[in-house]
Structure 1
């Protein structure tokens, strides 16, 4: 199994120190802002990431309505709205802003240099300029990051292991995000060692997908790597519908494709990351500066294999790969 437990590296700061002496600040109602890209409303009952954050804060001793309030702003799949929503949270004088993606994090950074930002699952923050370093971020962004570039290279390996005769793979990626550029470069570097040729399919807006899908079909690639970074809320369903209709073996980021019929998923569990965000909020609420709170990264990841899809595609997944999977859908 790849996912045994979530370990953290933060160049000297462990999870124990993050959660030590947790308690709401005395005599203060903490105002938490949440900048969301897609989900229309905050709904802990049905959205696991939302529920994980609330549970995390509860574990720190925080009670909603007594110790903190939440201002939730969603772009509802329209990223052009993120800057104005981030500015609105700043005008509301929130004490901390939670973000769950690169676009949200950058919008919040552009809106304020003073309000602390706790990012959940931001990709490659040092390489993309979001933070000066993991141990000392140096700005107003801290939280839970992902070494997404290295993870992307592993996706090539898993796809090749599932399809030993794979010789050509298409990579669908969002060219607007620097983190995506790094991820694609890692795929491009890893593929030749596996005897795989890479076809770059760049998209910069949702309007590019029809052209991208046509290019993938014409390339006759034996597989597809879908790097997460949709521009609008219906992008992932469109990708899933396309690969299912054209019977293309595809590996997605964790939680982004198997339910729609994708062959595999690989990556960190964002719900587990969200469960750790409460410790950061508690530290900030009690006076710590984001610049001094190390950014943590997961060091273990989850692999999901969809055997139902494999059978439909006529692919026999090697037993060795199935044994490494954390979850198998039959």
Structure 2
């Protein structure tokens, strides 16, 4: 009898343990699992393109993506050359990010090549990249192909317009210095045509990096009637502050590519607003984080362009901007 009771108790305990284990592990399985936080690598290009990053981040917050809460930004910066920039980005790509946001030609080329070398299929959204087709980033504007898309400011197309505006603003200019790194993104071919039609001498030089750009301007024999046209490529962005300082030192008009350039000391600029481009890039990034393929998202092109004049710079270099020209400006910076 005792044996029967013990056997029954043992059976009961075994069943009870099975039930408890089932309930415990079943409950664990039913606990909602936290979704992994998406990782976005950000390749900054300061200071020229900082506004494209600031407005990107702000727009992402408006779309519900807050750093540290439901998205994690891993931030790096472009170096002075392609090789070191690729190396820096390559190390971050090994984290297998959900997205890479690049600003400028150098950052975008470095990210694309690093991803290809490592065979990492990370989506790339670029901002402020002129002529993305001619530069080999995408197959076409409507069908980018690959794993990359973004927003172009079309600076390669507006470069010739800048030259026209410079000629209209200061007819005494006879020679325009235009060192560039990337012939396509700087719009060199169109500049040659428009310079010839305006009777301007265009002094060109292909420069390998930012240091070479600064050195070229530092040693150039400027004379009265000269102007500098800032190239819309990586060296123009990276060496811009030095270009401003040298232009002021030699009292030479400097033409920028966007409003931010004029705020920082260029005499005049014509181009799109890089902050607007950053916001548009955020919209594309949000689509990709939700599952859209970059290859199916057309590259967007800027449609609004702004003429900005810095009268404080005009006073410092001793030039007078005609009132008729100022009437065309979207913004005039008076200075002190």
Give your verdict on TM over 0.5.
yes
Q: Could you give the per-residue CA deviations for residues 117-172 of structure 1, whole angstroms, max 9, x where no partner exists?
A: 00011111012111111111011111111222211101101110111233322213
- Find the counterpart in structure 1 of residue 332 from structure 2: 328
Q: Counterparts of 1:220-259 in structure 2 under 5 Å?
A: 220-231=224-235, 235-255=239-259, 257-259=261-263
- TM-score w.r.t. the length of structure 2 is 0.79
Task: Report the Cα offset of residue 210 of structure 1.
Answer: 3.1
What SS is found at the alignment partner of 1:138? coil
Distance (Å, rounded) in 1 between the aligned partners of 2:317 and 2:151? 36
Of residues 138, 150, 158, the one that matches 1:151 is 158
Of residues 119, 124, 139, the one that matches 2:146 is 139
What SS is found at the alignment partner of 1:171? strand
Q: Could you give the per-residue CA deviations for residues 296-329 of structure 1, whole angstroms, max 9, x where no partner exists?
A: 0111112110112223444332223212212111
Q: Is the 8 A contact 2:52 2:127 kept in 1?
A: no
The answer to whether structure 1 residue 197 and structure 2 residue 201 are counterparts is: yes
Distance (Å, rounded) in 1 between the aligned partners of 2:44 and 2:155? 20
Higher relative contact order (CA 8 A, sep 6+): 1
What SS is found at the alignment partner of 1:112? helix
- Find the counterpart in structure 2 of residue 32 from structure 1: 40
- Find the counterpart in structure 1 of residue 62 from structure 2: 59
Distance (Å, rounded) in 1 between the aligned partners of 2:135 and 2:173? 31
Q: Radius of gyration: which is bigger?
A: 2
Of residues 304, 308, 311, the one that matches 2:308 is 304
Q: Which runs of 5+ in 1 are unaligned?
A: 1-25, 40-46
What SS is found at the alignment partner of 2:298? coil
Q: Is the 8 A contact 2:217 2:243 kept in 1?
A: no
Query: What number of residue pairs does the alignment pair up?
Result: 294
1:185–1:134 CA distance, 2 compared to 1 (3 A): same
- Find the counterpart in structure 1 of residue 112 from structure 2: 109
1:153–1:214 CA distance, 2 compared to 1 (3 A): same
Question: Which structure has more helix as a fraction of its residues?
Answer: 2
- TM-score w.r.t. the length of structure 1 is 0.81
- Find the counterpart in structure 1 of residue 214 from structure 2: 209
| RMSD (Å) for aligned C-alpha atoms | 2.4
Task: Report the Cα offset of residue 64 of structure 1.
Answer: 2.8
Q: Is the 8 A contact 1:226 1:250 kept in 2?
A: yes
Distance (Å, rounded) in 2 between the aligned partners of 1:311 and 1:136? 47
User: Greater CA deviation, 280-289 or 200-209?
Assistant: 200-209
Distance (Å, rounded) in 1 between the aligned partners of 2:127 and 2:271? 14
